[in-house]
Amino acid sequence: MNTKFKIDPKRDIVFERFIDAPTRLVWEALTKPEHVKEWYMPREWGRVVRAEMDLRPGGAFSIDIAVKDGPEVPNLGCFLDVVPMERLVWTSMLFPGYRPAVFDDVPITAIMTLESVGKGTRYVFTALHRDEADLVKNKESGWQQGTEIALDQFVEHVKSMAHARA
C-alpha cells in the first residue's frame, strides 16, 4: 500500500502519542484481542464485549462494544495493510474479504503508524473521513473525545505491560 497520503484538516483527524515502551509491546497491545479489550472503549462509557483481529489484508477488524448495560454494537471493518511493528490500516467502508459494507455509523479509514524513538515508540493514529460533514458528525457524536480517552487508556495499558515484563 502506498503510505503517502495528504492530511486534509477539514476531513481528517490525527492523534499522536509518545509511548515509553518498545515498539513490539505497542504492536502487541494494538493487535492482540485480549489487549484491545483492555483499552479500546472508554471505561466510563462501556466495555468491549468481543474482539477479533485477522491481521492480513482483507482480514476482519471486529470489535463489539456495549455502552454501559446497553445492547452490543458491532464494529466491523477490513484490514487494508499490515506491516508488523510499523503500520496497520483498516476501514469500516469494507467488510472482511473486501466486501462492500453496510453501516449506520460514520465510516473512517484508520491508519496507525509506529516509529521507534530511543527506548519508546511514536504512535500516530490518523482517521480519514469521506468529507467535512462526516468529520463534523464524528466530532459532535463524541467520537473524537472517546478516541482521545481510548488512546490514553492504550498508552496506560502498554506502560503496564512494559512494567509487568520488566
Say which amino acid occupies 119. K
Is it the case that residue 93 has pLDDT exceeding 80? yes
Q: Please tell me the predicted confidence (pLDDT) of residue 3.
A: 55
Q: Please tell me the predicted confidence (pLDDT) of residue 94.
A: 94
Q: Please tell me the predicted confidence (pLDDT) of residue 1.
A: 47
Is it the case that residue 81 has pLDDT exceeding 60? yes
Q: Name the phi and psi angles at 130, rounded to 5.
A: -65, -45
Q: What is the mean pLDDT of the chain?
A: 93
pLDDT of 29-58, one tens digit each?
A: 999 999 999 999 999 999 999 999 999 999
Share of the chain above pLDDT 70, in %: 98
Q: Please tell me the predicted confidence (pLDDT) of residue 113.
A: 97
Q: Taking Cα atoms as reference points, which of 111, 131, 130 lies closest to residue 15?
A: 111
**Alpha carbon separation from 59 to 32, 87, 95, 100 (Å, rounded):** 14, 15, 9, 14
Q: Please tell me the predicted confidence (pLDDT) of residue 5.
A: 75
Split at pLDDT 50, 70, 90, the class of 2 is very low
Greater confidence (166 vs 72) lies with 72
Which fold does the domain 13-165 belong to in CATH? Alpha-D-Glucose-1,6-Bisphosphate; Chain A, domain 4 (3.30.530)
Q: Please tell me the predicted confidence (pLDDT) of residue 6.
A: 87
Split at pLDDT 50, 70, 90, the class of 154 is very high
Distance CA 20, CA 70 (A): 35
Q: Please tell me the predicted confidence (pLDDT) of residue 134.
A: 94
